Structure 1
């Protein structure tokens, strides 16, 4: 089995701002994190991403299972659906 972080397909969609509407639905915006290189979809401060104060969330299997803001095409979401079908 590949390492967890190797599953990421570098779509960068998790690095875009999101907002919650009055019904609790999550909506992505076209505004990326200031550290996202939008050309190659990589984090410019990956080694210190959790300490720069941008709200970066470590995507563990537990987090991926519990959040509703990751896009359906996220490789982590797809992996969790395959390994833990409901």
Structure 2
């Protein structure tokens, strides 16, 4: 995959907000999303209320780079970042 510019990378996000909901891992290692959003997620607009400082607020937010997306297991299958990294961004 070509390495997109940071601005181009950010533009891939469809603002679904699915990555901003709590997840839990069961005894088998399977990851399950919950209905509990991050306290900074506007559940109507699906936008982060503190996006400019999201990595500083201590909520466990992860900067999604191509390298991170390649290894994390908790992004939804239809995530634009995940589809781009894994070559299915049709």
1:2-60, Cα deviation, whole Å (9 max, x unpaired): 71111000000000000000000000000000000011110000010011110000000
* 1:78 match: secondary structure: helix
Structure 2 unmatched ranges of 5 or more: none
State the TM-score, normalizing by the size of structure 2.
0.88
Q: Which residue of 2 aligns with 1:41?
A: 46
State the TM-score, normalizing by the size of structure 1.
0.91
- Give the root-mean-square deviation of aligned CA atoms: 1.3
Structure 1 unmatched ranges of 5 or more: none
Q: Distance in 2 between matches of 1:5 and 1:49?
A: 14
* 2:34 match: secondary structure: strand
